[in-house]
Amino acid sequence: MVVVTTAVILASCDVGDGTTLRDPVAPTTLPPPDTTPLETVPLEDPALDGAPAIESLPAPTNPATIAEGDAATGGFQVFAPWAAGAPIDIRYTCDGSNASPALSWTGVPEGTQEIAISLVDETNLSNGRPFIHWVLSGIDPSLDRLAENEVPFGSTRGLNFFGDVDYTGPCPDPGTTASFSITVFALNQQVELADGTPAAELLDVIGTVTIDSTSSIGTVSR
């Protein structure tokens, strides 16, 4: 009985052409994945309707915060009778009363030992430097203002380019417009020069001991 069964099994594996079929074997492993890189296509320009692509975004700002910060810190500031960049009233010019303007200032820095003031013509030069109309030094740092035509006690007046130790107002040539800068300086030491020192020399010394300054510019037309 056993012999007959074996013969039947062998016969079933013969296809009649002398070839013996192999027993079917189920695959036990998957083929390795294809790691060939995919062909890439460059991205199109992200611009829309012809507008350029945005390279970076600006940092967000808060105008209200900036304004509050400026108001809080204040800083050294001078206040003249004219708005910044505006015409100077004729009262303070050679065609008017030739009065020195009333001024006030705030935010004087710590360590200030003296205040100085100048008025120069930024448009016209004399020997390569702005034309000097007024220089006043030796002002007590506890002061925060000057009245019109005031010369504080103990102050030093520079001899201006008109040959005068007092204020000489803006006086540009007829048919011209000039810009004038009035500046308040905070000095870290006292300027011990005599009254009537040439204005250019006085301003040069002021410049060597200035720790901060603030200016207001006005214009005059004739």
The pLDDT assigned to 32 comes to 54
pLDDT in tens, 50-88: 433 333 333 333 333 223 333 334 699 999 999 999 999
User: How many Å apart are CA 115 and CA 142, to the nearest integer?
Assistant: 9
CA torsion through residues 159, 164, 169, 173, sign: negative
Would 90 be classed as within a structural domain?
A: yes
Q: How many domains does the chain have?
A: 1
Q: Whole-model pTM?
A: 0.67
User: How many Å apart are CA 26 and CA 23, to the nearest integer?
Assistant: 10
Residue 221 makes CB contacts below 8 A (sequence gap 6+) with: 87, 172, 176, 177
Would 3 be classed as within a structural domain?
A: no
Would 186 be classed as within a structural domain?
A: yes
pLDDT in tens, 148-194: 999 999 999 999 999 999 999 999 999 999 999 999 999 999 999 99
* Domain boundaries, position 119: 82-221
Find the mean pLDDT for residues 141-150: 96
Find the mean pLDDT for residues 78-101: 96
pLDDT in tens, 102-140: 999 999 999 999 999 999 998 988 788 899 999 999 999
Would 167 be classed as within a structural domain?
A: yes
Would 70 be classed as within a structural domain?
A: no
The pLDDT assigned to 14 comes to 47
Would 213 be classed as within a structural domain?
A: yes
Would 110 be classed as within a structural domain?
A: yes
Would 122 be classed as within a structural domain?
A: yes
The answer to whether residues 158 and 165 touch, using CB atoms and an 8 Å cutoff, is yes
Find the mean pLDDT for residues 191-220: 96
What CATH number is given to the structural domain containing 206? 3.90.280.10
